[in-house]
Amino acid sequence: MIVVVFGGKSPEHEVSIESAKTVCAELLKAGFLPKPVYVTKEGYWLLADYQALKAGGKLGGEFIEPSFKEGCFKTAGGKKIKPAAVFPIIHGATGEDGKLQGLFELLGMPYVGCGVTASALGMDKIISKKLAAAAGAPVLPHVLIRAAEKKHRNPALKKAAGLGFPLFVKPVTLGSSVGITKVKKARELKAAVNYAFHYDTAVMVEKGIDHAREIVCGVLGEGYGARASVCGEVRPVGGHEFYDYEAKYLDENGMKFILPAPIATGIARRLRELSVIIFGALGCHGMARIDFLMDPGNENKFYFCEINTVPGFTSHSLYPGLWAKTGLPPAKTVAKLVGLAVKRRKQLSHLSTNRE
């Protein structure tokens, strides 16, 4: 039995529900029994019925809670749930930032994806950029504004404007393009920063590339020994200036996903190499998607944008599509991820907790 944890206290709650549908379906194809666990927006954990999830029905069920003493989950009626592994598919805050991973570590449960530290590092756009740059990946300049500086931020706004337009204003620890604004003029900057502060206590103003090509690469495995998928290109269409939340999830015709990306073989090879290097530099495990921005007039000018340690798994998400094109269908991808989770837990269980 594989517990699939989804939903969560995150602006990406609805996206997580769609990802859970796909993950459960692919786990079944791979020969596993999925057990969906729905985390409400209020933070309650409920057993969910897979058929109801699949049909878009009511997700609520029996309450469950962790039992640290027994290393399992327990229902309100006292039934124990001890899965072979957990597949967390909560995107964004509380699911992708190390908090949920810490819970599974305390329970001693195998879980899919990055550990506590790598999850927290990957979720922070500032720290992940610094680590990627230190590992040799080119990055774009940015200005960081924290909540404590909101009342005295004019110098920071002036510095950001000095980077040149367009600029992208982003919450530092959020995904799925939530809270992001493309700013073309100085007078738009303050409002964009205010908007981003609705979602986070830290905001990044990053130098943009006008009409940048968005190149993505999936990574699967362990640290520097992981594999990289083929590169894909995301092209916003239908009036979307970049791959924003609406283009990703609300507009069925909001983007074209081109596989493989139409870029030179040498450039594609370098991006795949960098993806594994960044994955390893952050101490990642299991899965991640690495996103790059490329100058539309010169494909030799590319920059690390961000890493997604719990990438979308919806029916039209990028990560499973990248691996399918590389020769690994979704059912085999989820099976590989479960295997990696079990392997890591075995390795951790052999570590000594006693001082000798």
Q: State yes or no: pLDDT of 238 exceeds 80.
A: no
User: What are the tens digits of pLDDT across the range 75-125?
Assistant: 988 999 999 999 999 998 889 999 999 999 999 999 999 999 999 999 999
CA gyration radius for the chain? Answer: 20
The last residue of a domain, from among 185, 207, 229: 207
| 90 occurs within a structural domain | yes
Task: Decide if 130 contacts 35 (C-beta within 8 A).
Answer: no
pLDDT at 239: 57
Give pTM, 2 decimals. 0.92
The last residue of a domain, from among 157, 187, 207: 207
pLDDT at 57: 84
Containing domain of residue 275, as a range?
Answer: 121-137+211-309
The number of domains in the chain is: 3
Residues 189 and 45 in one domain: no
**Between β-strands 34-39 and 2-7, what pairing exists: parallel, antiparallel or unpaired?**
parallel
| 103 occurs within a structural domain | yes
Which residues does the annotation mark as catalytic? 12, 176, 249, 289, 291, 306, 308, 312
Residues 54 and 82 in one domain: yes
Sheet holding 72-75, edge to edge: 64-67, 72-75, 80-81
Spatial neighbors of 262 by CB under 8 A, at least 6 apart, are 233
| 353 occurs within a structural domain | no
pLDDT band at 135 (very low <50, low <70, confident <90, very high): very high
Residues 25 and 163 in one domain: no
How many of the other CB atoms lie within 10 Å of CB of 98? 22
Q: State yes or no: pLDDT of 218 exceeds 90.
A: yes
User: What are the tens digits of pLDDT across the range 159-192?
Assistant: 999 999 999 999 998 765 778 999 999 999 999 9
| 339 occurs within a structural domain | no
CATH number at 202 reads 3.30.1490.20
pLDDT at 118: 98
pLDDT at 299: 96
Whole-angstrom distance, CA of residue 197 vs CA of residue 229: 34
CATH number at 238 reads 3.30.470.20
Residues 230 and 277 in one domain: yes
Q: How far is CA 306 from CA 67, 140, 214, 311, 325, in A?
A: 35, 11, 11, 11, 22
Residues 7 and 54 in one domain: yes
Q: Which amino acid is at 200?
A: D
